[in-house]
Amino acid sequence: MDIISLNEILNKNETRKNEFKGDEAFKDNFKAHLTFCIGAFANTSGGGNIIVGIKDGIPPEIIGVSEQNISSYDPTVINQYMKERLQPVTKFDIVILTHEDRKVIIINVKEFDDIPILVIKDIESPIKKYAKKAEILIRTESSECKRIDSPDDMRDLIQRSLIKRSDILLKDIKAIMTGEQKEYPVLPDEMFKNLLPDFDKDYDDFKNNDKNIFVWKLNFLPLPIIDDEIDFSELKNILKHSIVDHIPYKSFPLFFGFQDNMINLSNYIKLDVNQGTQRQFWHFNKKGAFGLAHVTWSEINSRESNFNYDMPPNRLIPKEEIICFVAEFFYFIYNIINRIECDDVYVNIEMYNINNRYLGSFQTGISNSGNKSHIQNYAKSKIFSKGEIITSWNKIAATIVKDIFDIFQSSEFNVDGILQLQKLYFKK
């Protein structure tokens, strides 16, 4: 924004697109109030501007912002505060202009990309609560920031979200039909290996020395690789708000209850869990690369009176866990790419030590379904567009599960049948 644009705004007073604030610092009550306003503008068609250093009136009066207050508008601090309270990530620019020897701060808030902004933590100060967790905010025609309480406003918001998602999907379809898909100079698996090391030697020993144990290995990488590294505090914040936590005492990836065991290394965080029937390793890189190795509880659980199944490799691999685990993985990707800028996602899924294993169900008490795998290891990798994940993560997961079931020579389910079971087992 320039001086001419600012003058045009000042001539119109406050509108749905523009709000004026006095000489305020980003602290105390105003910090919460500004977050509330940004969340509302982000859900408003076209976004809007919050201009600090203007006294509202007819006409508005330019009072400016003191140097001390200007220094409080640290973009890193503001971003961190916002991201703890609003998700997906709210986009805005901060510009300082000098107007008639007085400085004003313009906060230009962008409209949401494709998913409306949600309050994920109460927005409040010691003197006022502006918004509660799970509320959706909007800027009204009467120039008021408020939570949505009108069916018409909610309908408009949903419609805009659907249009944005459709535009993403149509762009992806056009790219496929015209052959205009992106080509990356380095193969995604090589890019991934350059960003994250393989898992520690104890995992390799565990996987290779006991050939009876079935092991998952899952990777994904947002593309193109982001230019700037995400700092550790933000990386943990992204992870925390992307966790798939739909079943009590279980999450994907393992996180809650194990946070204190996370380790910061040079450019990634890691967590190793080896506790009872919980066995999982994961790494999360500052560029968004994520890798996980997991041994399901049913492989480790000992044979007992209430779990009377032979030990691996004679123990079945439960179809319910495969359906749930792949769905959790893709919903986790869905959550991550709504918080990290990307166009595509490289996804890799591997299963080790599955030769001559049976597919069955503990829920129905079937210990041997007669469907036996005919390969030792399974691997599938593919680049998905962001639009594909956003609009069809559950169907992608079901299609991959069908591919996995095929290696067990199982024709029991088609993709639609797996989708139905996915809804039954996986309640996000």
DSSP conformation letters of 73-101? --HHHHHHHHHTTEESPPPEEEEEEEETT
- Is the N-terminal amide bond of 253 cis, ω within 30° of 0? yes
Going from the C-alpha of 260 to that of each of 86, 234, 268, the distances in angstroms are 25, 16, 16
Per-residue pLDDT tens digits of the chain, which is 428 residues long: 667 678 888 887 888 999 999 999 999 999 999 999 999 999 999 999 999 999 888 888 899 999 999 999 988 788 889 888 998 878 888 889 988 889 999 999 999 988 899 999 999 999 999 999 999 999 998 999 999 998 888 998 988 888 877 766 666 666 555 555 566 656 677 778 788 776 655 556 555 556 678 899 999 999 988 888 899 988 998 998 899 886 545 789 998 888 888 999 889 999 988 877 778 889 999 999 999 999 888 888 887 777 777 888 888 888 888 999 999 999 999 999 988 888 899 999 999 889 888 888 877 655 455 578 888 889 999 899 888 898 889 999 999 999 999 888 777 788 998 998 888 876 65
| Residue 153 CA: distances (Å) to CA of 130, 136, 139, 415 | 19, 10, 10, 36
- Give Cβ neighbours of residue 350 (< 8 Å, ≥ 6 apart): 216, 217, 218, 377, 378, 379, 380
Pairing of strands 48-52, 18-21: parallel
159 burial (CB, 10 Å; 0-12 / 13-18 / 19+) is exposed
Give the residue among 1, 3, 195 at the shortest CA–CA distance from 98: 3
Per-residue b/e over 290-313, b at no fewer than 16 CB within 10 Å?
bbbbbbbebbeeeeeeeeebeebb
**d(C-alpha 202, C-alpha 390), whole Å:** 36
- Largest interatomic CA distance in the chain: 83
Helices (H), 180-318: 188-195, 201-209, 232-240, 297-300
- Secondary structure of residue 191 in the 3-state scheme: helix
Nearest of 112, 110, 71 to residue 88 by alpha carbon: 112
End-to-end CA distance of the chain: 41
pTM of the model: 0.64
Return the pLDDT at 367: 47
13 burial type by CB count under 10 A (0-12 exposed, 13-18 middle, 19+ buried): middle
Strands 366-372 and 358-361, by their bridges, are: antiparallel
Say which CATH topology domain 3-155 has: 3.30.950
Residue 271 host element (H or E): strand 268-275
Residues 6+ apart with CB under 8 A from 171: 387
- Round to whole Å and give the CA distance between 79 and 92: 9
- Closest to 20 (Cα-Cα) out of 95, 97, 104, 131: 104
To the nearest 10°, the Cα dihedral for 74, 79, 82, 86? 160
Collapse the DSSP code of 30 into the 3-class scheme (helix H, G, I; strand E, B; otherwise coil) and give the result.
Answer: helix
Tokens of 421: 């079971």
Q: Domain spans of the chain?
A: 3-155, 188-425
Q: What is the predicted pLDDT for the residue at 205? A: 58
Q: Helix, strand, coil: what percent of the chain each, to 5? A: 35, 25, 40
